Structure 1
Amino acid sequence: MTKSNNNNRRPLYLTAAGLLVLSLGAVFVVRSFGSESGADGFLGGKSCNDKTQIRLSTTPEIQPLLERAAKAVADRKDDSTTACLQFNITGAPSSKVARDIANNAEGRPDLWVPDSSLWVSQADDGQSVPTIAVPSVATSPLVLVGRSDNFADVSSWLGTFSKTTPALLDPLSQSPGALALLAIQAERARTTASETQVGEVIVPLAQKLGSMAKPYTDVNGLLGRAGQPDSTLVVPASEQSFVKYQDEHPDSELKAVVPRTGTLLLDYPIVVTSSSDNEAYSDAAKALGEELINNAVAQARDDLGFRDALVSDLGGGRGVGAVSRLPVPSTAAINKVLGEWTRLSLSAHSLAVIDVSGSMAEKVGNKTRMQLTIEAAVSGLKLFPDNAALGLWTFSTKIGKSNADFRELVPIAKLTEAQRQRITTALAPQQAIKGGGTGLYDTAIAAVQAVRSGYDSSAVNAVLLFTDGKNDDPGSLSLAQTVATLKALKDPARPVRIIALGMGPDVDINELQALAIATGGQAFVAKNPQDLRTVFINALQSR
């Protein structure tokens, strides 16, 4: 079993073996603990005149196991005890507790049992990161759940996702969703998947889920949908939640698998979150942790569908059996993946601006650059969710009102079915203008101003600029003057970025980069128009 380093500053995904060598300086007696609502309930034991009060917050699914362990500790009869503990155990989602700690909210717990160590780094309040006292009191592998027909490809997480309809629990609040994204990145050390291949799966998924009024948070609801006849849904979930669902739905035709690349674990550490007297609370955590590895609690843990800290198979042939482990994500990897998901799932307020100059009539194979660009734009349109807003311009030289170099075809609006149809219909008849030049500079400035005029603070505001050439409008500003104008238009509070998508051998990448960088954007080049979809994915990832 792969081990990870124990770092007191940012201790993530620590190994389970530490549970087996717990060293206690004293035996604690727990004489009361709280119910789910937080009310105290007294559980036997002898009188304690100087009780140590312990506020423990836990992810709800493991709360019954913690309460059983607390009662077992309370039932100990050891006359040498010099102190006793009073636990008040409450249930709360791990992401909420992490957020509350990071924001220094009232009611900070003394101890915390999240479902995954990944939340520990998210609970940084600016002063310190909570420390893990007990690496793991239980485990549950991340699995993929769906109907058997949907598992033709289980070579990797990415491979399965690309051939099915993945339904992720909200990665920003639910561990299985976050771990699924981390698994896709972690397995790249064992596959040949490129960043673009990952993006082709993750970008549309993030856009789709980001457009939902309410993210998925109910695993049972998703599993119910995945079990419907002909469903193509696959749901990343903990093995524990799958086993529990199967126990409650014995006629379900769902199956759980782990891709051949391996999986990550939900590891249930006990974390010291108190802002003071950490040694006493660490000792209390170890007392509880010691009880949780006793044989008396083992059967209860298995009954609830949890594995032990050594990831031993569940009893009765339940679950997925032996699992291979993926490399443990670092804090930096966790922050990067969650940050990218946040950015990618934002809606878009964008203007697509497409070159219709004369050079777009040149053929690549049996199609013109114009035809290939239109196909790429129509394909790219499908990546945008319904809550995105998109408009369409074309540009050449002197084709618009008052001899402007651009022409508005479809104003920016929400992507309803009607708006999608308007854009598709407007694109279909577009042809390269014979002898038309490329009025790139004036168009870039006007497009940024147009997006800014209808700025949406809840979305990524951008100009998607498609071109196969460089500016050849003699009457326009110079490149230096255009860059200076774009920089002057820049407003950090209301950023509008140019994402330039160049195609063909005549593109001046330096020119496109200068325009994009002046707005905080990026430029991408496809040597062949057939590569435009890949470039389009890369562009969306760079937002």
Structure 2
Amino acid sequence: MRRGARSAKGYTMSRRANLAAALLVLSLLAAACIPGGDGDDPGTDTAAEGEFTDTDPGDCVTVDIAVSSEKIDLMNDLAREFNDAGEEVDGQCIFVRPLRKASGSAATLLAEGWDEELEGPRPVIWSPAGSAWGGVLNQQLIDAGQAPIAPTDFEPFMLTPLVIAMPEPMAEALGYPEEPIGWNDLLELSQNPEGWAAFGHPEWGPFRLGKTNPNFSTSGLAALIAQYYALAGKTRGLTGEDISRADVVENARTIESAVVHYGDTTLTFLNNWYRNDVRGTALTYASAVAIEEVSLINYNRGNPDGVIEPGEEVVPPRIPLVAIYPEEGTLFSDNPFFVLEDAEWVDADEVAAARVFTDFVQRPENQERVLEFGFRPGNIEVPIADPIIAENGVDPAQPTTTLEVPDPGVLVDLIDQWGRTRKAAQVLLVLDVSGSMADFASDDGSRETKLDLATRAATTALEQFIDDDIVGLRTFSTDIAIADDGQPLDYLDVVPLGPVRQNEQALQQALAGLFPVAGTPLYTVTRDSFADIVEVYDPTRINAVVLLTDGVNDDPRNSDLGGLLTFLEEQARGETAAQVRVFPIGYGRDADFNVLEQIAVATNATSYDASDPRSIDQVFTAVISNF
């Protein structure tokens, strides 16, 4: 029996509890409206993961490098070798220090302000996954009346093309490998109401596409560019007029309608694909996902997240993926080395030292090492070799057509256009309002609570949902309200599901007076929230629950984690529930991250770590990028 409430009407509460519940739920809606995430590079990158721990021996010219996540391990190794070799500039030693930083996140920080206390040192070299990010950064700076800082001449460090990854049986149903396949074929699949039944496989269901958010994801941005080139029938010179044509916009909207959900990183799709492969349901999770070639190689090797932990057993999937190089053309992630010599914080010695390191990584022996990680060498003198081979589902002779990166203004227009054509969402935002939300967010003496930080994030978040999105807000805490029959309620819907803009003004006015209440009935609210979205499932939308909690389940009336996970997994086998996902956020160090990960896995979603409450802005950015 549910102990939650579908509506605030008909319940008697103390005046204090009523105000707390209402205002705290409203804060979650605002906080969860930040867009973004990162595709190939998780949007919540910090120095803690993949951290470079070597220290400057003293009085060296330090070259800080902001590096996209897919190459941080290799870059750390090269930096250590370089530092140990004793390279100098004008008789002074050089110390290279890589910092893992998502491509899109770094672009935003470089454009809007880089907080070194939170983000680490500002870079001398910026190496995003793709050079298109340099154009995006420069355009943002120009629009803000500032001078561009990303150079237009640079050395690519390593290469990997964007591909459309498909399970091999699905690709073969479309004629692979004899027949070329491209974005226009995906358009036809998206328009076909029969789905895979049109190709003799009704058991695979409708065509389901996975894409990442182009605001922060390199693969998402590259896929968006390639998609619009294909729909416009061009390979070069994409213009604002091209992407605004009525037929192009309508066809783009049709392709987006097939999206399962978006995502901050392609690893979300690959990890879920791999788990479904183990369950025998890989062909009903997703039909195609736009990823980089290197990620497909890692997947087929049995390493979907690209990281092999000590003692981890690598087991190739039962159904491998194959790389479709779109016949209309594709783009490369070229991993540029942008030496930011025009940035105000970079001096001449740092520029000279950065160029010494740039030359070092271009040496043939170092370029050969990129192959170990599944990339193609940036130095064309180094030949392509294993693992870029057919046995791994890829073709070293492809792609035959490389698309031109559009002008920066068109890139910005493309991202804006995507915001108008992306698939709409129906999202229930669920906020833990237990007493621990009153804890201080850090021990730096600021005396800000976790709730304070969430409130501040909320004030700038609401506008990031599109007008057509449907959003509902729920708070939960033990005995948060009393029903008319005297029974305690563990959650309360203060803002029912509805168009987000209808609630905007009330939300903004309500954010000033938030305070926490009691305990954490995590299992009850998760089960019921999932079931409630299943009840109102809309196949034309992305349907999801975003669940933020800062603690563990402490509800003595429901401690059945096994029952919750079984329920979610059984429901996820159904056609409707399989498309409803729970995205948990662990907020603060006391959150039960292991349980939250299990909840996400059970619903083919992903969990997010905001153990440092100061990162909540970035985490919400990553979460909301799924919609």
The TM-score normalised by the length of structure 1 is 0.52
Partners of 1:452 and 1:305 in 2: how far apart? 43
Per the alignment, residue 444 of structure 1 pairs with none
- Find the aligned partners of 1:201 and 1:115 in 2 and give their Cα distance: 28
Identify the residue that residue 160 of structure 1 maps to in structure 2: 186
2:147 aligns to what? 128
1:272: how far off? 3.0
Aligned residue for 1:287?
356
- Deviation of 1:208 after TM superposition, in Å, equals 7.2
Q: 2:165 aligns with which of 122, 145, 148?
A: 145
1:178 aligns with 2:221: yes
Residue 308 of structure 1 aligns with which residue?
A: 377
Task: Pick the aligned partner of 1:296 from 365, 382, 388.
Answer: 365
Determine the structure 2 residue equivalent to 1:266: 333
The residue matched to 2:271 in structure 1 has which SS? Answer: helix
RMSD over aligned Cα atoms: 4.0
- Given that 1:169 and 1:217 are in contact with CA atoms closer than 8 Å, whether structure 2 keeps it comes out as no
Structure 1 stretch displaced more, 90-99 or 252-261:
252-261
Asked if 1 retains the 8 angstrom alpha-carbon contact of 2:209 and 2:259, the reply is no
Query: In the alignment, does 2:316 pair up with 1:250?
Result: yes
What per-residue deviation string (whole Å, max 9, x for no partner) do you get for residues 78-135 of structure 1?
Answer: 7996122222211121111111111113123222110011222333444222223633
Give the equivalent residue in structure 1 for 2:604.
none
Distance in 2 of aligned mates of 1:206 and 1:266: 22
Alignment of 1:334-373 (within 5 A): 334-345=411-422
Against the structure 1 CA distance between its residues 284 and 244, is the aligned structure 2 distance closer, same or farther, given a 3 Å change threshold?
farther
Distance, in Å, in 2 between the alignment partners of 1:302 and 1:59 is: 17
The question of whether the paired residues in 2 share the 8 Å contact of 1:111 and 1:272 is answered with yes
Q: Secondary structure at the match of 1:57?
A: strand
Letter in 1 for 2:123: P
Relative to structure 1, the CA distance from residue 102 to residue 321 in structure 2 (aligned partners, 3 Å threshold; closer, same or farther) is same
Provide Cα deviations, 1:141-194, integer angstroms capped at 9, x if missing partner. Answer: 001111134331744223234424221012222111111110022233449999
Q: Give the Å deviation of 1:335.
A: 0.9
Aligned CA distance change for structure 1 residues 131 and 211 (closer, same or farther; 3 Å): closer
Structure 1 unmatched ranges of 5 or more:
1-33, 350-383, 390-412, 416-450, 459-543
| Counterpart residue number, 1:113 | 127
Distance 2:321 2:66 in 1: 32
Rounded to whole Å, the distance in 2 between the matches of 1:266 and 1:315 is 19
In the other structure, the counterpart of 2:443 is none
Q: Secondary structure at the match of 1:288?
A: helix
Looking at structure 2, the residues matched to 271 and 92 of structure 1 have their Cα atoms a distance apart, in angstroms, of 14
1:387 corresponds to 2:441 = no
Q: Check the 8 A contact 1:208/1:385 in 2, yes or no.
A: no
Within the alignment, does 1:199 sit opposite 2:249 as a pair? yes
Quick check: 213-222 or 338-347, which moved more? 213-222
Give the residue type in structure 1 aligned to 2:74: L
Give the equivalent residue in structure 2 for 1:83.
92
TM-aligned CA distance change 1:339 to 1:217, over 3 Å: farther
Which amino acid in structure 2 is aligned with residue 92 of structure 1? Answer: K
Q: Which aligned pairs between 1:135-534 and structure 2 lie closer than 5 A?
A: 135-151=155-171, 152=174, 154-163=180-189, 164-187=207-230, 188-190=232-234, 195-204=245-254, 206=256, 218-221=268-271, 223-224=273-274, 228-231=281-284, 233-248=287-302, 249-251=315-317, 252-273=319-340, 274-309=343-378, 313-316=384-387, 317=389, 318=392, 319-322=394-397, 323-324=399-400, 325-345=402-422, 387=470, 454=502
CA drift at 1:302: 0.1
The alpha-carbon distance between structure 1 residues 101 and 278, as it changes in their structure 2 partners (threshold 3 A), is same
Percent pairwise identity: 18
* CA distance in structure 2 between the aligned counterparts of 1:457 and 1:206, rounded to whole angstroms: 30
2:54 corresponds, among 23, 32, 41, to 41
Contact map agreement 1:211 1:345 (CA 8 A) in 2: no
The structural deviation recorded for 1:453 is 11
Q: Partners of 1:290 and 1:190 in 2: how far apart?
A: 36
Whole-angstrom CA distance in 2 between matches of 1:315 and 1:453: 52
SS of 2:114's equivalent in the other structure is coil
Counterpart secondary structure, 1:285: helix
- d(CA) in 2 for partners of 1:176, 1:206: 15
Partner Cα distance (1:321, 1:62) in 2 = 20
Structure 2 unaligned regions, length at least 5: 1-46, 117-121, 190-206, 236-241, 303-314, 427-466, 473-495, 507-627
Q: Counterpart of 2:513? A: none
Give 3-state SS (helix, strand or coil) of 1:139's partner. strand
Query: Separation in 2 of the partners of 1:102 and 1:207?
Result: 32
Letter of the structure 2 residue corresponding to residue 147 of structure 1? P
Q: Which amino acid aligns with 2:295?
A: S
Question: 1:315–1:222: structure 2 CA closer, same or farther, 3 Å change rule?
Answer: same
1:340: Cα distance to partner? 0.7
| Distance in 2 of aligned mates of 1:56 and 1:150 | 41
Give the aligned partner of residue 532 of structure 1: none
What is the rounded CA distance, in whole Å, between the counterparts of 2:423 and 2:181 in structure 1?
30
Aligned-partner residue type, residue 230 of structure 1? L
Q: 1:35 to 1:193 in 2, by over 3 A?
A: closer
For 2:83 and 2:249, locate their aligned partners in 1 and report how far apart those are by CA, in whole Å.
Answer: 52
Q: 1:170 to 1:199 in 2, by over 3 A?
A: same
How far off its partner does 1:247 sit? 1.6
**3-state secondary structure, aligned to 1:185:** helix
- Residue 37 (structure 1) shift: 5.7
Larger Rg: 1
Distance 2:134 2:344 in 1: 15
Label 1:144 to 1:314 Cα distance change in 2 as closer, same or farther (>3 A): farther
Between 1:278-287 and 1:292-301, the stretch displaced more is: 278-287
